[in-house]
């Protein structure tokens, strides 16, 4: 556990941002079902946002134990959010790049890629 406090706080910020995506997705799906307007696409948008947030959070939390999986999940979640929220590309792309960088540098602390796949 030679992880610095700064790295832990960056991971915590990334997980909080991912949780915001998860909460937004849940709220969007719930609103679509409460309004009985499931066919509008709002439920699908909410589900995509929910899954992307879950992928980012899982990727950040697993990047130390399994670096390749962690970086992949963060990248997939960030790309999905950027594609789904196309009008917010100016915000989501830099945040996605920062989260991928966090996962990458966190994985490098474990000796990745030399020790890839080892627990």
Highest mean pLDDT among 22-31, 32-41, 62-71, 100-109: 22-31
Q: Does any domain span residue 112?
A: no
- pLDDT score recorded for residue 12: 86
- pLDDT score recorded for residue 114: 67
Q: Does any domain span residue 32?
A: yes
Q: Does any domain span residue 115?
A: no
Q: Does any domain span residue 66?
A: yes
Boundaries of domain holding 13: 8-107
Question: Number of folded domains in the chain?
Answer: 1
- pLDDT score recorded for residue 9: 83
Is it the case that residue 81 has pLDDT exceeding 60?
Answer: yes
**What's the average model confidence in pLDDT over 65-82?**
85
Q: Does any domain span residue 102?
A: yes
pLDDT bracket for residue 118 (50, 70, 90)? low
**What's the average model confidence in pLDDT over 92-114?**
80
Which of 22, 115, 12 lies closest to 60, judged by CA?
12
Q: Global pTM?
A: 0.66
Q: Does any domain span residue 118?
A: no
Could you give the percent of the chain with pLDDT greater than 70?
85
Q: Does any domain span residue 119?
A: no
> Cα separation of 71 and 94, whole Å?
16
> Dihedral of the CA atoms 88, 50, 108, 117 (nearest 10)?
-140
Q: Taking the CA atoms of the chain, what radius of gyration do you get in angstroms?
A: 16
Is it the case that residue 69 has pLDDT exceeding 80?
Answer: yes
């Amino acid at each position: 556990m030679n992880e610095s406090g700064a790295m832990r706080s960056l991971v915590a910020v990334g997980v909080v941002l991912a949780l915001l995506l998860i909460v937004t997705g849940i709220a969007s799906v719930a609103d679509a079902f409460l309004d009985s307007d499931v066919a509008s696409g709002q439920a699908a948008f909410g589900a995509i946002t929910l899954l992307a947030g879950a992928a980012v959070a899982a990727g950040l939390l697993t990047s130390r134990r399994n670096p390749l999986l962690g970086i992949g999940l963060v990248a997939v979640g960030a790309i999905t959010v950027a594609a789904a929220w196309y009008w917010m590309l100016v915000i989501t792309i830099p945040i996605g790049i920062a989260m991928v960088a966090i996962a990458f540098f966190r994985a490098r602390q474990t000796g990745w890629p030399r020790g890839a796949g080892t627990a």
